[in-house]
A and B are shown apart, each in its own frame.
Chain A
Amino acid sequence: MSLWVDKYRPRTLDDLHYHHDLTARLKSLAASGDFPHMLFYGPSGAGKKTRIACTLRQLFGPGVEKLRIDQRVFLTPSKRKLDLNVVQSNFHIEITPRLVLHSRTYLPRSSCIYTVNSEVGMYDRVVIQEILKEIAQTQQVDLNAKQRFKVVIINDADTLSRDAQAALRRTMEKYMNNMRIILCANSTSKLIAPIKSRCLLVRVAAPSSEEMHNALEYVAKREKFDLPPEASQQIVEDSNGNLRKAILVLEALKMQSPDLSGPLSIAKPDWETYCHKVADMIIQEQSPQRVMDVRAKLYELLSHCIPATVILKTVAERVVDKVDESIKADIMHWAAIYEVRMRQGNKKIFHLEAWVVKVMSLYKHSFYGIDLDDFEE
């Protein structure tokens, strides 16, 4: 009774629907016995983790699918306790260093009003050092195992702090005998060069619309219903190369209208409609009062765990759709600038709001036909 996206996830390299040349390469790598460190990168929903899982299966056999989650507790040098959830099988271990949590720490009073970093990003180094060493120092004990090494998968590798990445460098070379590392990231831009040079880079591109159609049809066939091409077309367009999203949407649509015929309205996720509301508010009125209302909404989105970049992107796209041709470029220009600043700074809301005010100012000025003289930085 899982959702379709999980039910029909390919389990072996042979089942994969697209990127066949990549599949072939992975297969020969797994067979070669000389498996390198790897870095999978590509957009969300392109199939990175699916491919990693398939490769592992190819390497170790069905045993890797027996997963369990284990909670580890670490002690930082400053005596704080950290919890880390580790997904592992007998042959591999998967960690998400950014998802380390404090346990039983008493936050200072100031944090109840504002928080600088919600996750304990700065401790990922400790996790990397401890876990990797632990695994690296022990050999594979199962004599029947196909490979002599274990695999460590590091999720969200692009969110690793510089310290943690530096901690990886030497370990990757030193313990090559016992361990291979597979990094999984959305983009390589935040990984330091030494890491990249130690890995085989594997780009998992988003599927083309053709490939997505095929995948959707496959799901439809297995679920025993007919997928009209128009519906398929609409879903593919809506999901923007994210196959996960496409299949989830397909299932939601199927629940809504079982025959999938006639004009379909794809229900947008709650956060997306909310972002659109924010965009509409910006265009409707430009005043300090309105900035405050917008900010309340932005806070709500942020606090409900929608990443700030996603908010900025969604709102900006919607605003650009609605405004006059002449200021579209400027709005996107500033959105890009504030997106960078968001990554550099600590408090997302400052930059989001600065952008909102900027857009309001731009809009108002163009409305009255006055150029903002200093819009170039």
Chain B
Amino acid sequence: MAGPRAPGSKAVPEPQCAEPLAGLAFVFSGELSSFSRDEAVDLAKRFGGRVTGQPSSRTSYVVLGDDAGPSKLAAIKKHNLRTLSEDEFLQLIATRNPGGGELDEKTRKKKEKEQDAIREGAREMEKREKAAMKEAKAGSVGSAKAVDTSTQLWTVRYAPQTLKEICGNKGQVEKLLLWLQDWPKSLKSGFSKPGKNGMNIFRAVMITGPPGIGKTTSAHLCAKLAGFTPIELNASDARSKKLVELVIDSHKPNQKTNAAGVEISDKSCLIMDEVDGMSAGDRGGVGALNQLIKKTKIPIICIANDRQAQKLKPLIATTYSLPFKKPDAAAVRSRILTVAYKEKMKIPANVVDQLVAGAQSDIRQVLNMLSTWKLSSSTMDFDESKELVKMNEKYAIMTPFNVTYKILGPYTFSPTSRETLGDKMELYFHDFSFVPLFIQAPENYLKTQPVKVRNLAGPEKDLKELELMDKAATSISDGDLVDGLIHGSVPRVVDLRSLICKVCRSEQHWSLMPLHAVLSTVRPASFIYGNCQQWLGQNSKQNKLSRQLNDVQVRMRLKVSGDKSEVRQSYIPALFPVIVKPLMDVGASAVDEVIDRMDDYYLSKEDWDTIVELGVDQNKDELVLKKIPAATKTALTRKYNSREHPIPFHKAQDLGKAPKKIAASEVPDLEEAFDVDEDVPEEVVEDDQGEDEDVSKDKLIKMPKANKGKPAAAKAKGKKG
């Protein structure tokens, strides 16, 4: 195995100039002997190089270690790239001096151009600020807008003022602007013409994306540019159903202001910021908003972080989706550099890159970090930026997909990896209920090509692979035992062998979660890490079928003594030839007989479906249903519905809403239980209202119980007497 043969054995050389690797693009492949991949990439960046993932014709050097990936080697050959060993790479850092003529013309020109752009941008900002100041001075004394820009937050001061200044998502912003400009026209046409982007049939759009990438800013800017007055309602405003409805009401001609007290004209544009934050206090808010959207006379822009959120489901159909992505580092970099120049801070480009990457492209955070930094120093070097990023590290929650990819990928467990056990466990905690499932999903842990068997071949490889899989599977199984202690409730046999079970016997041992993390995620991954593909496990319909089987068993109970699994294992195979097979073999004429049989066991048509659905192998439902002609099926349904059937029991639901708690009242026999059922509906309604207003009160008072006991008892008396 390629090991950290000598981690840290080679010193980083002293370069001759500040950025010896400037203008070069690197690709790393394989394991270096002294540096981990991350460290090597860091080195290249620190000395001004660019690092890309895949080799292309524009790559200057490929740094090759042991076990380089075959696809990368092929690309090297194809593009005829120069390769470096680790030592040569260090040598390059030590000796290269691009300062003079070495830096080619193109790169220098590009750099100059960048510098010009930055200076230009900064100058413009300056101009605008001055103009604002002048206006403030010239304007009336009462003007509230006269704010000294130097007291503003950087995020406000440097918020983009034109479309050009918005970083990234250009296409989406243009779409938004176009939609807003077309809005009056679309309204006139009744939202029937889709327009160029197909957006003009929507009365509202929903912008979604991670925080700090300018969603709100873009919305405001576009609204202003399209000539609308933005009205923003965000999470700090109450947005309950009532209030949102007030907004609707305010469209009536005699009332011109909305809940927020802002005047509404047909030139207003409603920006509902942080829609996914409509929660607890904003009961029914999303639904009301949806109603509003359906008949609004002004454009509405909704902004949210997670489009998939359950809460936003109603809005998906009525709004046009504008997903904003994180802007790429280059776009953010030039903007940040402009700001830094304007603030007279000396920050090299690679440092900015570092900051941007660390903040997950959150422009707002980078600006905040810089403005704080400015207080103590006006320069920043690479190491300082790393530290700063570390301090402000943003814990982006990774999706289970990414976690799985990361932990099963070749690097997390490679010998040169610097990640500690704690770091790996951290991955589990990104989503502790899902990550273990994803790891276990066959498509993940079975499909990896374990790095550990890369050097083997033939039967040896097969054996080793199976052995690794075995270990991983065992560990997952261990993990499940621990999971049982955390979430389980089943009485368990105490197993003295393992430490875990000694601790246990009950549930909710949340403190065992780190152990679960190791067993379910880290340990299996440590065996089988390698190249993995992503795939999500199939949906299990076990729940549904199990529930239906319950129904079947309950219905059959009067005739049959077996429990649920006996019904499945013995009765269903035995019933199959009697109630399903005739339909396949004989056809429609067997329907009567089949229905008789079903009635014998109190089976309904739904139960028949269940029995078919529960078949496996040659009795698999698809195969069976294919063999039954459609005419027979309809005959069965029609005949079944036309006949009377014995019903072994009554369902509580048949009598309106379910009673809250029959068992609580003293009900000696059945008839009175019926009476109680009938009493219930009003009570339940009352109850719901109570819940709306004050949940805790409801819990304490227990009104329904008092109500219910009386009539039932009274009736009972009446009957007995």
Which of these, B542, B572, B664, contacts A303 with CB under 8 Å?
Answer: B542
State whether A361 touches B466 (Cβ < 8 A).
yes
A197 within 8 Å of B (CB atoms)? no
Which of these, B443, B477, B546, B566, contacts A292 with CB under 8 Å?
Answer: B443
Q: Which residue of B lies closest to A109 (CB)?
A: B310
State whether B550 touches A101 (Cβ < 8 A).
yes
State whether B550 touches A271 (Cβ < 8 A).
no
State whether A287 touches B562 (Cβ < 8 A).
no
**Interface-facing stretch out of B62-70, B132-140, B653-661:** B653-661
Chain A contacts of B573 at CB under 8 A? Answer: 248, 252, 269-271
How close is A53's CB to chain B, nearest CB, in angstroms?
7
**Interface-facing stretch out of A66-74, A169-177, A212-220, A225-233:** A66-74
Q: Which of A287-319 contact B (CB under 8 A)?
A: 287-289, 291-292, 295-296, 299-307, 310
State whether A114 touches B489 (Cβ < 8 A).
no
B20 within 8 Å of A (CB atoms)? no
State whether B619 touches A364 (Cβ < 8 A).
no
Which of these, A48, A249, A346, A351, contacts B488 with CB under 8 Å?
Answer: A346
Max chain B CB contacts within 10 Å: which of A45, A192, A288? A288
B89 within 8 Å of A (CB atoms)? no
State whether A85 touches B649 (Cβ < 8 A).
yes
Which of these, B547, B661, B666, contacts A137 with CB under 8 Å?
Answer: B666
Chain A contacts of B465 at CB under 8 A? Answer: 287-288
How close is B669's CB to chain A, nearest CB, in angstroms?
7
A165 within 8 Å of B (CB atoms)? yes
Chain A contacts of B576 at CB under 8 A? Answer: 270
CA A1 to CA B582, docked complex, whole Å: 15
State whether B539 touches A305 (Cβ < 8 A).
no
State whether B617 touches A277 (Cβ < 8 A).
yes
CA A155 to CA B462, docked complex, whole Å: 48
State whether A248 touches B616 (Cβ < 8 A).
no
Q: Which of A103-138 contact B (CB under 8 A)?
A: 103, 109-119, 121-122, 130-131, 133-134, 137-138
Which of these, A85, A271, A368, contacts B616 with CB under 8 Å?
Answer: A271
Given known A161-B489, A165-B491, A303-B540, contact A130–B651 (CB-CB < 8 A): no
State whether A44 touches B566 (Cβ < 8 A).
yes
Chain B contacts of A69 at CB under 8 A? Answer: 554-555, 557-558, 648-649
CA A249 to CA B618, docked complex, whole Å: 18
Given known A70-B650, A338-B477, contact A305–B546 (CB-CB < 8 A): yes
Could you give, for residues 309-347 of chain A, a 1 whenever the CB lies within 8 Å of some chain B CB and a 0 otherwise?
A: 010000000000000000000000000001011011111
State whether B566 touches A354 (Cβ < 8 A).
no
Which of these, B481, B571, B617, contacts A341 with CB under 8 Å?
Answer: B481
State whether B489 touches A87 (Cβ < 8 A).
no
CA A347 to CA B480, docked complex, whole Å: 7
A193 within 8 Å of B (CB atoms)? no
Which of these, B542, B651, B664, contacts A305 with CB under 8 Å?
Answer: B542
Question: Interface residues of B toward A: which range?
Answer: 35 or more
A143 within 8 Å of B (CB atoms)? no
State whether B489 touches A99 (Cβ < 8 A).
no
Which of these, B437, B470, B613, B666, contacts A114 with CB under 8 Å?
Answer: B437
State whether B467 touches A49 (Cβ < 8 A).
no
Which of these, A6, A343, A377, contacts B559 with CB under 8 Å?
Answer: A6
Given known A287-B462, A288-B469, A361-B467, contact A50–B558 (CB-CB < 8 A): no
Q: Which residue of B lies closest to A85 (CB)?
A: B554
**Interface-facing stretch out of B40-48, B180-188, B594-602:** B594-602
State whether B574 touches A251 (Cβ < 8 A).
yes
Interface size counted on chain A using CB atoms at 8 A:
115
B541 within 8 Å of A (CB atoms)? yes
A357 within 8 Å of B (CB atoms)? yes
Could you give, for residues 657-694 of chain B, a 1 whenever the CB lies within 8 Å of some chain A CB and a 0 otherwise?
A: 01111111011111001000000000000000000000
Q: Which of B425-442 contact A (CB under 8 A)?
A: 433-434, 437, 440, 442
A162 within 8 Å of B (CB atoms)? yes
CA A189 to CA B493, docked complex, whole Å: 9
CA A103 to CA B652, docked complex, whole Å: 11
State whether B446 touches A344 (Cβ < 8 A).
no
State whether B466 touches A49 (Cβ < 8 A).
no
Chain A contacts of B577 at CB under 8 A? Answer: 252, 255
State whether A110 touches B433 (Cβ < 8 A).
yes
B578 within 8 Å of A (CB atoms)? yes
State whether B563 touches A244 (Cβ < 8 A).
no
Q: Which residue of A lies closest to B504 (CB)?
A: A344
Q: Which of A227-246 contact B (CB under 8 A)?
A: 242, 244-245
Max chain B CB contacts within 10 Å: which of A3, A137, A255, A370? A3
State whether B560 touches A83 (Cβ < 8 A).
no
Q: Which residue of B lies closest to A251 (CB)?
A: B574
CA A357 to CA B115, docked complex, whole Å: 61
Which of these, B437, B470, B617, contacts A274 with CB under 8 Å?
Answer: B617
Chain B contacts of A292 at CB under 8 A? Answer: 442-443, 446-447
State whether A299 touches B491 (Cβ < 8 A).
no
State whether A113 touches B462 (Cβ < 8 A).
no
CB<8 Å pairs between A and B, sample of 29 = A1-B597, A53-B561, A69-B554, A72-B662, A73-B661, A87-B557, A99-B554, A101-B547, A101-B550, A109-B310, A110-B433, A118-B542, A130-B664, A134-B666, A134-B667, A138-B666, A161-B489, A249-B574, A252-B573, A273-B617, A288-B447, A289-B446, A291-B469, A296-B538, A304-B615, A310-B569, A341-B481, A344-B492, A360-B466
* Other A-B pairs beyond A1-B600, A271-B616, 12, CB < 8 Å: A69-B555, A72-B663, A75-B660, A112-B539, A130-B661, A130-B663, A156-B563, A273-B617, A286-B462, A304-B615, A306-B565, A370-B463
Interface residues of B, Cβ cutoff 8 Å to A: 310, 433-434, 437, 440, 442-443, 446-447, 459, 462-463, 465-467, 469-470, 473-474, 476-477, 479-481, 483-484, 487-493, 495, 497, 501, 536-543, 545-547, 549-550, 553-555, 557-566, 568-578, 596-597, 600-601, 613-619, 648-653, 658-664, 666-670, 673
Interface residues of A, Cβ cutoff 8 Å to B: 1-3, 5-6, 9, 44-45, 48-50, 53, 67-75, 81, 83, 85, 87, 90, 96, 99, 101, 103, 109-119, 121-122, 130-131, 133-134, 137-138, 141, 155-156, 160-163, 165, 189-190, 192, 242, 244-245, 248-249, 251-252, 255, 269-271, 273-274, 277, 286-289, 291-292, 295-296, 299-307, 310, 338, 340-341, 343-347, 350-351, 353-354, 356-358, 360-361, 364-365, 368, 370, 372, 377
